[in-house]
Each structure stands twice: as structure tokens, then as C-alpha cells.
Structure 1
Amino acid sequence: MRQRYLALLSVFASLPALAMNFQTRLENVEWKVAGDQFECRLGQPVANFGSAEFVRRAGEQAVFRLTSASRLLGTGSATLLAAAAPWQPGRGDINLGSVRLGHGEALLTSSQSQASGLINGLLEGRMTLVRSQSGSGQPVEIRLLSARFGQAFGEYQACAAKLLPMNYDQIRLSEVGFPRGLELDAPAKARLDKLLAFMKADPSVNHVQLDGHSDNSGNRLVNRDLSRRRAMAVQDYLLAHGLNESQVTLRFHGESYPLVTNSTAANRARNRRVSIELSRVAAAPSAAPAADSSAVLATDKPPAKPL
């Protein structure tokens, strides 16, 4: 009897551990859309687990994010699949690769290409399947059903169409070039228009620092004056389109900080530029009102570099 009992224990020990499955019941599946000019989200709550959503920031494509307040999943990685639904016989799963698990509430964030594969799968009626394991080594599977996805995806696309061209990280550091002369050309004005649109949409971004630069064609005094005039041309454009002088700091550096060596005409054209840095500046206390005009500085302190 003892030998039979030990044999049964051996059989059960050799069986794979049953997976913990998290999935919202079909009749309760709900896709939710939310967003603004800066970010759009398309998500589905996962019963007894947390939520999963596609997140698209302005200027970027979507990523897939899984969140949970629990610490069920361990460290390591998870596998993402656009899995064939049970009612799709003959279809195989599409393995979209692995993604590293995080330690915070956001358990994982996919790449943009992985998110695109999951979205295409849902549009084809596939399930989104996240396969990993718990901290104790037990297999875990989280499934998102495609029910009602098509209509929600249409609302999500409408949200995405209203996103700004760039997000703060992309636009915070930029520059406009002066390949010829001291006047702003069409590409420079288009860049500044995007900057102005972002500041209008997000009033907390309320300060602009301008750093003028030149090539080394003239003497140092002439080059410094040219860099000042370029920075002032950008400032004049910003002020003409709604900014206040108190929101702008203007600096000029002459030839001190070239992007590339001034060895060719093309390189010298690249060095004739104005670097732009956006920031959020707290309002001055009432005892110290803001200045009536922008700060204008000749400085040797290097400007921040665009991302």
C-alpha cells in the first residue's frame, strides 16, 4: 500500500503545474477609451487581476501595458501572443516575443511593434495572451478577448487623430537652422508653430530658452552679434504668435559651440542655428513680479543638446 501511495505521489509530481488563468467573462468584456491631446488609451479590465491597455502618446505609436496592484507575477519576463480563439479552428498562435517584467504597478510595457501585432490580432478576432509565471513558479496566463473591440478601436483612432504632433520629451529640446542669412525659413517656422501649439495645449510649459549660434566665418565679435540676431529672430516670431517677453530667455554664444567642424560650407550652415529648450517655470512670488522684458545674455555656458 505504501509503495502504491509513493508511486501516485511520483506521478502527480511529474505532472505540469496547472496554470492560473485570468480572463473576464465574455458577457462582461468591456473596452474603454480615454484620452486627450497628449495621450490616448484603449483598455480592458481583467477580472480579479488588474487591467491591460494600449497607450499611445503624442508623436509615438502605441505600446501595450499590463497593470496590477498585486505582486502575483515574479521577476523575469512574459511572452506576448496574438492567440487563436477557441472558435477559430486551424489557426495558430502568433508569438510576438518576450518583454521584461517590471517591479511597480505597471508589470510590463511592450515595444511598439509588439503592440501593433496585438492590435492586428484583436481586429482579426484573436485573443491577447500574456504568458508568464508567479513568484512561486506557477504558470500564469492573462487573456483579453476581442469581443466589442472593433467599435472601441474606432473611438481610439478618433482620439489618436487629435493627438499633438509631438510629446513633451520630443519637443523639449529642439533647434531651428539658419542655412542662409538671418531670416527664418519655412522649415524653421513650421518647427516653431509646433512648439507654440504644444505650449497652448499645455500651459504648464511656460518658458522658452533660446541659444543663438554662428559658424566661424567672421571674427568673434561679428559672430557673437550674428548669433544674437538669430536668437532675436526666433524670439520675435514667438512674441508675434502669443508668447510674452517674460516667458523668453535669450542667450548668444557666437562660434563657441559648433555642432560639427566648420570645415565645409554644409557644416557651417548646420552650425548657424538657434537651440530651444522648453521648461515649466513656477510663477514668481507676488513680492517679486516678473520682469517686463526678456532676459538677454551673452554667455559661455553651453546650451542643452536636442534629444
Structure 2
Amino acid sequence: MRQRYLALLSVFASLPAMALTFQTRLESIEWTVEGDKFECRLTQPITDFGSGEFVRRAGEQAIFRLKAYNSMIGGGSATLLAAAAPWQPGRGDINLGSVRIGSGNVLFNTSQVQAGGLINGLMDGRSPVIRHATGDGRVSEVRLLPVKFHKAFGDFQGCVAKLLPQNFEQVKQSQIGFPGEGVELDPQAKAKLQVMLEFIKADPTVNHIELDGHSDNSGNRLTNRELSRRRALAVMDFFKANGIQESQITMRFHGERYPLAPNTNAANRAKNRRVAVRLERVAPTEKPVPQATASAGAAATS
């Protein structure tokens, strides 16, 4: 291992004179893992620069981001590399494409594919390198080192295993289908609602649910309105049975008025038999008055 460290140092010493490299000394390298049910972060601090971190949100794959205390790298694009380790001669660097350098604390976020390439490289002893060249020939590099990565990545995977199935952007809206002509929740509908319920219980700031029941146009308007009401009520009852207060739920029903697809065939009519569920964060002073109402046009038919 000592020979590897010495070889690594020799490579940095051989960099072009115009290159400015930011990295942490070998003996000071550390990876930290932080997270909760919503996001996990695997971070290596970079001395006198900032940090590089892998971030994985619930429901997504990991990305890599570079953070800086100050704007030490100019704007424009930079090359992202999984650089070969110096103690493995004959291996070239892997070019993972370019990243756009921005301003502020976070200089860039990679794609999920690029982050996957960096992780695979680190597992193989490679270093994530961000190389930025200016028009006058100056080169800046930011380098993370693979030292202690394997154990830290195992801890990171342990955090990832506890993430929720989806993040708020993914879970905040859902269409609960009733492909049959009834009003009962089928297993697929219950599975969707269970994911939403799990998120609500994990995030107390999500404190209101909007339900909008719909039907196809198979029956008359009064019948369709009643079907849409009973479907919305089935979803409300699911939430209530699992600990959500009725005061947190607003329920409306619209009959056939708002189809997702033209009611021209059986498949489209099945799509229109649904309850739209929307999760919201509502401040205490803004909370709507719970209600169970038909849409104005549907009500006019009664």
C-alpha cells in the first residue's frame, strides 16, 4: 500500500507546471455517509476547495456533485474522468464526458450514468477527476482519491436500503385506476396508495390530500357522478383506515366531465374510471376546509 501511495504522489508531481490541482493529502482522506429516508450522501472533503459527493434521492439513482467554498474554477465546461491509478501501468483514463460548471456552492451535478461510471471507477481503484482548461492554456484539476472507498460505499448502500420507494416529486400525484366497472380498490391500487401513505407518515410536512373521483360515460350523468363519488370515498377510507385524519382530506367527484382519454373504446373508458390523488404541503393558516363535493357541472344535473 505504501508503494501505491508513493506512486500516486509521483504522478501529481509530474503534472504540467501550469496545472493547479486540488486534492486532500493521502493520510487525511476520509469518506462520510449521511442520510435519512429521503436522501443519502457519500462525501469526500477536498482540502482548500470544498467536497465531492454522491447523492442518491429516494426513487432515483445516484448523481455526483462538486461543491466549492469559493468559485475557484472558471465557468464553461470541464472534463469528467475516472482516472487510472498510477500503480496500474498500461491503464488509461476513462472519459465520462463533460459537465457544465456553474456558479454558487454547487458547481455541477452529473448525470446518473456519469455517477455510475465514477462509482465503478472508484471500486476499481480509479480517481474521479474534474479537469478544466481555459483558453490561455491554464488547467485546473479537482481530484478525489479511492482510499477507504470500499467500506464507505458499503455504508452508503446501507443508507440506500432504507430510502423510501419514491421521492416527493414522484409520489405527490397519482391516478388510482378502477379498470373494472366497480368501486373497490384492487391490489394494484392499494399498492400505489401504500407508497403514498408511507411517504406521508415519513414526512409530516405533507399534511393534506386532494381526491378527485371520475367515471367513464357508460351510464347516465347521475349514475356516473355517484360512481365517481364512491370511488373517491374508497380512497378516502383507505387513508382513514391507515391513520390519516378526515380533516386532512378534501374529496371531490366529477362524474364523466374530465376524461383522460376519449370514451371511444373499452381501454380508454377503463383509464377514465379513476381517482386522482394529490399530496400537498399546506401551512396551518392555509389549510382548506375539508369537503366532499360534486363538480359544479355534475351537480347541475341533479
1:123 Cα deviation after fit: 0.4
Counterpart in 1 of 2:33? 33
1:88 Cα deviation after fit: 1.5
Runs of 4+ in 1 over 3 A off after TM superposition: 133-137
Partner Cα distance (2:24, 2:184) in 1: 60
Counterpart in 1 of 2:291? 295
Counterpart in 2 of 1:156? 156
Counterpart in 1 of 2:187? 186
Does 2:260 match 1:264? no
1:284 Cα deviation after fit: 4.3
Partner Cα distance (1:17, 1:239) in 2: 68
Partner Cα distance (1:155, 1:77) in 2: 32
Please, what is the CA RMSD of the aligned residues? 1.9
Counterpart secondary structure, 2:284 = coil
Alignment of 1:168-247 (within 5 A): 168-180=168-180, 181-247=182-248
Structure 2 unaligned segments of length 5 or more: list them: 1-15, 298-302
Partner Cα distance (1:72, 1:48) in 2: 10
* TM-score, scaled to structure 1: 0.87
Partner Cα distance (1:300, 1:118) in 2: 55
Counterpart secondary structure, 2:81 = strand
1:174 Cα deviation after fit: 1.0
Deviates more, 1:132-141 or 1:151-160: 132-141
CA offsets, 1:61-90, max 9 Å, x none?
A: 000000112112222212111110111111
Partner Cα distance (1:280, 1:100) in 2: 33
* TM-score, scaled to structure 2: 0.89
Partner Cα distance (1:230, 1:20) in 2: 64
Partner Cα distance (2:64, 2:231) in 1: 43
1:134 Cα deviation after fit: 6.1
Counterpart secondary structure, 1:90 = coil
Does the 8 Å CA contact 1:211/1:275 hold for their aligned counterparts? yes
Partner Cα distance (1:163, 1:111) in 2: 20
Deviates more, 1:217-226 or 1:114-123: 217-226
Does the 8 Å CA contact 1:213/1:274 hold for their aligned counterparts? yes
Structure 1 unaligned segments of length 5 or more: list them: 1-15, 302-307
Distance 1:296 1:136, change over 3 A: farther
Does the 8 Å CA contact 1:176/1:191 hold for their aligned counterparts? yes
Partner Cα distance (2:100, 2:61) in 1: 19
1:31 Cα deviation after fit: 0.5
Partner Cα distance (1:191, 1:133) in 2: 48
Does 2:167 match 1:167? yes
Alignment of 1:110-149 (within 5 A): 110-133=110-133, 138-149=138-149
Distance 1:278 1:134, change over 3 A: farther
Aligned identity (percent) is 61
1:103 Cα deviation after fit: 2.1
Amino acid at match of 1:21: T
Partner Cα distance (1:236, 1:137) in 2: 67
Amino acid at match of 1:277: R
Counterpart secondary structure, 2:153 = helix
Does the 8 Å CA contact 1:82/1:127 hold for their aligned counterparts? yes
Amino acid at match of 1:296: A
Deviates more, 1:142-151 or 1:99-108: 99-108
CA offsets, 1:184-204, max 9 Å, x none?
A: 000000111111110111111
Partner Cα distance (2:162, 2:63) in 1: 18
Amino acid at match of 1:81: L
Counterpart secondary structure, 1:176 = strand
Alignment of 1:8-47 (within 5 A): 18-47=18-47
Partner Cα distance (1:260, 1:56) in 2: 35
Counterpart secondary structure, 2:179 = coil
Distance 1:300 1:79, change over 3 A: farther
Counterpart secondary structure, 2:217 = coil
Distance 1:82 1:300, change over 3 A: farther
Amino acid at match of 1:223: N
Amino acid at match of 1:210: L
Partner Cα distance (1:200, 1:183) in 2: 24
